[in-house]
Amino acid sequence: MRSLESISSRRRAALLRLLFSAILTLVFGLLPACRGRESGGENGSATGPIGRPAAQRIVTLTPSLTEIVYALGAGGRVIAVSDYCEYPPEVRQKPRIGSFLSPNMERILALQPDLVLVDSVQREVAAVLGQAGVRVLAVPMQDLAQVRQALVTVGEALGDRRLAGERLRDGLDREIAEVKRQTEGKPRRRSLFVVDRQVGGMRGLVVAGPGTYLDELLQLAGGSNVFADLSAKYAKVAVESIEERRPEVILDAVHAEPGQAELLKRDWLQLSTVPAVAAGQVFVLANREFVTPGPRLGLALRQLAALLHPAPATAQAGSGR
């Protein structure tokens, strides 16, 4: 076949016009799909990046992903959630499909969802559902960068909520920037963030380590993680290691029943030599926004900053809450 250079100028011009026409046809053919991706419509008729209808039957397998879908304005499309999804309050009326570790696959398949949202660590769950022909989105949410991206990624997956996801992300960024400005230059308080333990004692202590969104929140709020040198993101630790590291502030986010805050605080009295305990700087974080990476992390960050660096007028009144 002759090269383009060997074709006569008239035939070359005709060929170029043909190629240009084909390119225009391709570009304008893609525009409807692009507009569908950009749509922020509320009626569910918009399409996703490749023309897929907006998801209408959504199952969420973590509290974080449930909160994100509701914050995106698509809560009415959620048909089932995992056992521990509690926020917003209307979620409590949704059918349950099992726990984070053991979701009921048969129940999920029977609901015929057009989208199932899972955490990226739920690999086996995602694989089984995918093999069954279910559309699954596995979302990583280990650190702040991943949480920020998740707000947009989930919006895109819904088919018509990408712009809403960008607005959520931008709002979170503004909250982070404001707290960072407020705590800049303040002394770093040595802090311990407990995510699990045995209620009524100090057994089974699990703390947040480096590379986690909780570690990042501590730093942004004006603290320093006493377990920042761990090799794991979350790890079990001994009581002796807490006594050795001597945190100035203890943040206890263990899940407990309502009204158990004082009981949880009393558990720490056995560590009376730890500076945080001696100074009454043990805080029970009963609200789940602290351990639910999602749209409310800005609220959690503001509260952490207020605990680590309380305003002078309220420092004494807020101590040991």
* CATH assignment at residue 305: 3.40.50.1980
State which amino acid sits at residue 118. V
Same domain? 147 vs 213: no
Assess if residue 74 is contained within a domain. yes
Assess if residue 36 is contained within a domain. no
Assess if residue 221 is contained within a domain. yes
Same domain? 314 vs 190: yes
Q: Is the pLDDT of residue 38 over 70?
A: no
Identify the residue whose tokens are 């570790």. 101
Mean pLDDT of 13-39: 37
Same domain? 222 vs 304: yes
Same domain? 209 vs 154: no
State which amino acid sits at residue 53. P
Same domain? 191 vs 314: yes
| Domain boundary pick from 131, 147, 172 | 172
- For the full predicted model, state whether its pTM sits above 0.85: no
| Domain boundary pick from 142, 172, 202 | 172
More confident residue, 223 or 312: 223
Same domain? 166 vs 198: no
Assess if residue 34 is contained within a domain. no
Same domain? 144 vs 216: no
Mean pLDDT of 238-258: 93
| Domain boundary pick from 130, 148, 172 | 172
Contacts of 186 (CB under 8 A, 6+ apart): 222, 309
The Cα-based distances of 110 to 74, 113, 134 in angstroms read: 21, 8, 11
Same domain? 194 vs 243: yes
For 59-117, the pLDDT digits (tens) are: 999 999 999 999 999 999 999 999 999 999 999 999 999 998 899 999 999 999 999 99
Same domain? 209 vs 313: yes
Same domain? 205 vs 238: yes
Looking at the structure of the chain, the number of domains it has is 2
Assess if residue 128 is contained within a domain. yes
Assess if residue 286 is contained within a domain. yes
State which amino acid sits at residue 302. R
Q: Which of 255, 275, 273, 274 is nearest to 264 (CA)?
A: 255
Same domain? 262 vs 295: yes
Domain ranges, residue 123: 58-172
Assess if residue 181 is contained within a domain. no
Assess if residue 289 is contained within a domain. yes
The Cα-based distances of 33 to 24, 39, 164 in angstroms read: 15, 10, 18
Contacts of 17 (CB under 8 A, 6+ apart): none
Q: Is the pLDDT of residue 136 over 90?
A: yes
Same domain? 120 vs 142: yes
